[in-house]
Amino acid sequence: MTSGRATTAKRPAGDNPARMRDRNRAAPVDLAELPDRTGYVIPRARVWIFQDVIRAMAEHDIRPAQFSVMTVIGANPGVSQSAVSRALGIEHARLAVMLHLLEARGTMKRVNSRHDRRSNALHLTPAGKRLLGMLKAAVARHEERVIAKIGVDGKRELLRILSVFLQD
Amino acid sequence: MTSGRATTAKRPAGDNPARMRDRNRAAPVDLAELPDRTGYVIPRARVWIFQDVIRAMAEHDIRPAQFSVMTVIGANPGVSQSAVSRALGIEHARLAVMLHLLEARGTMKRVNSRHDRRSNALHLTPAGKRLLGMLKAAVARHEERVIAKIGVDGKRELLRILSVFLQD
């Protein structure tokens, strides 16, 4: 009943360690309606994808949300904190902590805005731009691993279907 | 430049509050490659879906992962804790806490297993079965809201593409 049986069945019977391990496993469990529920399937997929993207960025000590923030600042020099918060759906308090960390690392700087004295304009430093370039390359390699699992067409369809959730 | 402009443009100019609010908003920011990255799109979709499913279960004071655990126990009476852990990808320690809570609420009970004295067999109580029935109805209504956003075909395609992530 388990997917591993086909392999172990070829081995001689008796005190085969692999077979013993296999026997200790319970029969596969019935997931009932769960595989038909987006509320189950999307979080499961997200765990795989997040773990892979976290690994991809780990050598640079950057988390996925920090990467998103750097990408938005890089593509919109002088953007305000509240615009980043809205665009990425990151709460203001959490974003403030992230910006503080990025600034302390020398990847981002705040410049007083001419147009609105209440808010700062955010810019990447030269070091931040170099780091973002390396992170984007790491993320592109991660996406290749996703494509290896779901295919180019699968990825295109997936992004098309889910694009509606980016507009909230 | 914002999607809201078409509406406000129809209103008379001047001290229109909606127009003032609109002007206070910065121009929409460029998300660069992010909408083409599964590592960005899937977590964004998950936030919407999770918030909706959490709301759906809130009146029963149940979290999505607890619902998954109850579903698996309901569909596999006598299942072991380690089998639930493997099937749902929930760490053993975290599952132990969840089972403790479900047991304290009177929705789940542990029975000494005849086959393996080291592990308990998990069962829903009659109250747990009734609660699971109500939760399943709430989740079905949540799925209708997801379908309203992505369509029946979109949901079918989505689950097909992501099914590969359930096999890890």
> How many angstroms separate the CA of residue A131 from the nearest CA in chain B?
16
Distance CA B136, CA A81 (A): 41
A40 and chain B: CB distance < 8 Å anywhere?
A: yes
Element at B118 (helix H, strand E): none
User: Are the beta carbons of A143 and B39 closer than 8 angstroms?
Assistant: yes
User: What confidence tens digit (pLDDT) does each residue in B105-139 have?
Assistant: 999 999 986 666 667 899 999 999 999 999 999 99
The whole-angstrom distance between A92's CA and the closest CA on chain B is: 15
B108 touches chain A (CB under 8 A): no
Q: Nearest C-alpha of chain B: how many angstroms from A10?
A: 23
Chain B contact set for A62 (CB, 8 A)? none
- CATH architecture of structural domain B34-167: Orthogonal Bundle (1.10)
Q: What is the pLDDT of residues A115-152, one digit of tens each?
A: 666 678 999 999 999 999 999 999 999 999 999 999 99
Q: State residue B20's pLDDT score.
A: 44
Q: Inter-chain contact A162–B32, Cβ cutoff 8 Å?
A: no
d(CA B41, CA B3): 20
Furthest-apart CA atoms within chain A: distance in Å:
79
C-alpha span between A110 and A80 (Å, rounded): 9
Tell me which residue in B64, B146, B157 faces A157 most closely, judged by beta carbons: B157
Query: B30 in contact with A at a CB cutoff of 8 Å?
Result: yes
Residue A54 vs residues A61, A96, A113: alpha-carbon distances, Å: 9, 21, 33
User: Where are chain B's structural domains?
Assistant: 1-30, 34-167
Long-range pairs of B60-66 with CB within 8 A, sequence gap ≥ 24: B60/B131, B60/B134, B60/B135, B60/B138, B62/B131, B62/B135, B64/A39, B64/A40, B64/A43, B65/B90, B65/B98, B66/B98, B66/B101, B66/B102
ipTM of the complex: 0.79
Q: Does B89 contact A46 at a Cβ distance shorter than 8 Å?
A: no
What are B138's two structure tokens? 């709430």
State phi, psi for B122 to the nearest 5 degrees.
-95, 135
**pLDDT in 10s for each residue of chain B, 168 residues:** 333 333 333 344 444 444 444 444 556 899 999 999 999 999 999 999 999 999 999 999 999 999 999 999 999 999 999 999 999 999 999 999 999 999 999 999 999 866 666 678 999 999 999 999 999 999 999 999 999 999 999 999 999 999 999 875
For tokens 């976290």, the residue is: A54
DSSP class of residue A90 equals -
